[in-house]
Amino acid sequence: MRARSRRLPLAAVAAIALLAPVPAASAQGTSTLRSQLASAFRGASRASSAYVQDLDTGRALFSARATTARIPASVNKLYTTSTAILRLGASARFTTTVLATGPLLPDGTLQGDLVLHGGGDPSLSDAGIASLAAQVGATGVLRVQGRVVGDESIFDPFRGGPRTGFAYDSDVGGVLSGLTVGRGWSAKGGGPAAEASRRLAAALKRIRVSAPRAGVAGVAPAGSSQLGALASPTVAELVRATLVPSDNFYAETLLKDLGAYAAGSGTTGAGAAVVRDQMAQLGLRPRYVDGSGLSRADATSPAQVVGLLREMHDRPEGQILESSLAIAGRTGTVSRRLRGTAAQGRCRTKTGTLRDVSALAGICATPAGRTVAFAFLMNRTSVTSAHRVQDRMAAALARYSG
């Protein structure tokens, strides 16, 4: 493989190195590292694959069935979030608006409906709804003569992903919709859009704006006038909120956002096509069907995962992805793993877990100043035993000295 110069910005390396003191451990060269990785990997199931690469030189440090596709579980989120950064832009935001379908009379009566139009923001909260209500009140509205309507039409009406035939999936951690407040759950029924309209009506009531008819889902007609707007966190912030805790709801919503904003159709299928196209542009062809990795139809190889990490590492946007990964022994899904090892505070990772599936992928900045990318994908395995193997391997490669 042709050597390529691949290094984290010095500030980024320093930031990772300062996250935690490195436990006492001797640095090790390539031959020792390979021996230790091979020894640890012997404890993996037969349906396991692994790949490790030095990003500074492009040299493969370890390879075991590296091109064999496996179920990646939540490692699939790396494809989703990378595409969101590249196609939508790290600074992009999704805007929720409040629209009026009729005129505002001098006495403060809004003739017509008040429509809460979702923009695909997975983080919309009651605080955001209160902000929108305040904006409506500031326009002089005192009474809504028509209805308060929730408009989720930016996305399709399906509540789950491919794993459940697009029906609601409790493992997603929310109800998918283009308009969700508090992840779309509702005690009163009617769906996320109807629930959002009820919450807006309640927020209006608290500021003495009368809106007696709510709990309705509909679509804002053309020509409606805007009374308020609320922007989501940036895509970069949403990516971090997706990756650190491995949030399935955020991942599936971001995928539909990719469909809506990059392909003109807010569906899982349209978003997945955008991801596959973006990966093909990077020379990668995973079998990708959903945003979260809940589907067992997803498949990719460790070589492809490391290929993604390598390609992103060489781009300005790559630092956004890398800084959004959970820190070994410190944060997110690896907060309790790899403590007291060389990997603690030095490796940023993405985990993946399903029944009999366990995966770990990421990037380590070693004490010797090397940058190493890795992917361990293990199927038909005990998750507990897979963690032991993965942690031994990550701890070993974090001591790599080149």
Quick one: 288 and 374 in the same domain?
yes
Same domain, 199 and 128: yes
Q: How far apart are the first and last CA of the chain?
A: 16
* 4 is a domain residue: no
Residue ending a domain, among 207, 232, 257, is 232
Pair (288, 389) in one structural domain:
yes
Q: Mind listing the pLDDT tens digit of every residue in the chain (402 residues)? A: 333 434 444 334 434 443 444 444 456 889 999 999 999 999 999 999 999 999 999 999 999 999 999 999 999 999 999 999 999 999 999 999 999 999 999 999 999 999 999 999 999 999 999 999 999 999 999 999 999 999 999 999 999 999 999 999 999 999 999 999 999 999 898 999 999 999 999 999 999 999 989 999 999 999 999 999 999 999 999 999 999 999 999 999 999 999 999 999 999 999 999 999 999 999 999 999 999 999 999 999 999 999 999 999 999 999 999 999 999 999 999 999 999 999 999 999 999 999 999 999 999 999 999 999 999 999 999 999 999 999 999 999 999 998
| Cα four-point dihedral sign 158, 164, 168, 174 | negative
Q: 245 and 393, same structural domain?
A: yes
The Cα 326–Cα 159 span in angstroms is 28
The confidence score (pLDDT) of residue 22 equals 43
CATH number of the domain enclosing 387: 3.40.710.10
Report the half-sphere exposure of 172 (CA within 13 A, side-chain side).
29
In a domain, 86, yes or no: yes
**Residue 26: its pLDDT value, please?**
58
Residue 186: which domain range? 95-232
Q: Of 206, 232, 258, which residue is a domain's last? A: 232
Is residue 5 in some structural domain? Answer: no
Instruction: Compute the CA torsion angle 335, 252, 71, 352 (nearest 10 deg).
Output: 0
> Any idea what the CATH number is for the domain that residue 206 is in?
3.50.80.20
For residues 154 and 67, membership in a common domain is answered with no
> Is there a domain that residue 254 lies in?
yes
- Residues 368 and 281 placed together within one structural domain of the fold: yes
For residue 242, being part of any structural domain is answered with yes
19 Cβ contact partners less than 8 Å away, ≥ 6 residues apart:
327, 330, 345, 346
Bridge partners, 101 (sequence order): none
Per-residue tokens: 394: 């990550």
Residues 80 and 151 in one domain: no
pLDDT of residue 5: 39
Question: What letter would DSSP give residue 66?
Answer: T
As a whole number of angstroms, the distance between CA 166 and CA 154 comes to: 17
Give the C-alpha distances (Å, rounded to integers) separating 389 from 232, 376, 383: 39, 9, 10
- By 3-state DSSP, what share of the chain in percent is helix, strand and coil, each rounded to 5? 35, 20, 45
The residue from 232, 258, 275 where one domain ends is: 232
Report the candidate in 63, 68, 58 with the shortest Cα–Cα distance to residue 33.
63
Question: Is residue 67 located within the same domain as residue 117?
Answer: no
Q: Same domain for 206 and 249? A: no
Bridge partner list, 230: 96
Alpha carbons 66 and 236: distance in angstroms, whole number: 30
- One domain, residues 249 and 381: yes
Full-prediction pTM beyond 0.75?
yes
- Residues 345, 222: one domain? no
Q: Under a CB-based contact definition with an 8 Å cutoff, are residues 1 and 60 in contact?
A: yes
Q: Is residue 1 in some structural domain?
A: no
Report the domain count for the chain.
2
- Position 180 in a domain: yes
In a domain? residue 290: yes
- Tell me the CA distances in angstroms from 181 to 119, 124, 167, 174, 186, one per residue in order: 12, 5, 19, 10, 9
Please report the pLDDT score of residue 307 as a whole number.
Answer: 98
On whether both 255 and 389 belong to a single domain, the answer is yes
